[in-house]
Amino acid sequence: MMSRKWRDEQAPSYIDSVSSFLSENSFDLEFVSIDPDLIFNCEGLSVAFVFVTNWDCGNPELVFNRVQKLEARFKNLYVVVCLPTKEKKDSFQRSYFKFEREIGGPVTFVPIQGLEMGFEKMIKIALSGGACKQEDVTSGMKAEVCVFITFFVINCYLPVLVFLTTLHTFLFHVRR
């Protein structure tokens, strides 16, 4: 399911390519009035996404305030943030800590470099969560923990490494 509001904020050609991509991956696309931008249902597991396609360096509180409202309502919530430039990456990292987000907290932020990468990551997250639920891999643990571990082991080694390096640099400069 895709939010009508989110759809209307995107270029029609992008929505067409997303629709084709989702269809190729066996997902039906419905446009509905929902608060998150997208919700995927895989094997009975609903996974909600906020997809920030244009990070506003001057107004990051819009995203973080929205996420704070949604995290109370959605058990499996991910925020995919497109950060194509160093300026946007730096702004996001500063904001992440300013708004006191926890690494590995209830909401997982997924930074990406380009829009085309966004839906690929969302599909992988949703499918891995559904597979874990279907195979009952999650007995004894919550489904979102399985999705979190699967996602980061398979898809995010490099971004996490870059993030930790940046965090180390940031902390080194703060100590001075």
State which residues form the domain around 58. 2-175
How deeply is 47 buried, as exposed, middle or buried, from its count of CB atoms within 10 A (0-12, 13-18, 19+)? Answer: buried
Average pLDDT over residues 10-19: 91
Q: What percent of the chain has pLDDT over 70?
A: 70
Residue 74 tokens, joined:
């959605």
Of residues 174 and 49, the one with the higher pLDDT is: 49
Residue 109 tokens, joined:
């932020």
Count of the separate structural domains present in the chain: 1
Tell me: the pLDDT tens digits for 31-63? 999 989 999 887 777 889 999 999 999 999 999
Confidence class of residue 4 from pLDDT cuts 50, 70 and 90?
very high
Virtual torsion, Cα 134, 42, 106, 7, nearest 10 deg: 180
**CATH code, domain with 39:** 3.40.50.10130
Q: Is the per-residue pLDDT at 6 higher than 90?
A: yes
Residue 53 tokens, joined:
């396609």
- Parallel, antiparallel or unpaired: strands 38-42 and 77-82: unpaired
Residue 69 tokens, joined:
């409202």
Confidence class of residue 91 from pLDDT cuts 50, 70 and 90?
very high
Sequential DSSP letters for 80-96: EEE--SHHHHHHHHHHH
Stretch (H or E) spanning 1: none
Q: Is the per-residue pLDDT at 133 higher than 70?
A: no
Average pLDDT of the chain to the nearest whole number: 80
Q: Report the pLDDT value the prediction gives residue 26, as an integer from 0 to 100.
A: 82
Sign of the alpha-carbon torsion through 55, 93, 154, 30: negative
First-to-last C-alpha distance (Å) of the chain = 48
Of residues 155 and 50, the one with the higher pLDDT is: 50
Q: Report the pLDDT value the prediction gives residue 154, as an integer from 0 to 100.
A: 53
Sequential DSSP letters for 7-75: HHTS-HHHHHHHHHHHHHTT----EE--SSSEEEEETTEEEEEEEESS--TT-THHHHHHHHHHHTT-S
What pTM does this model have? 0.72
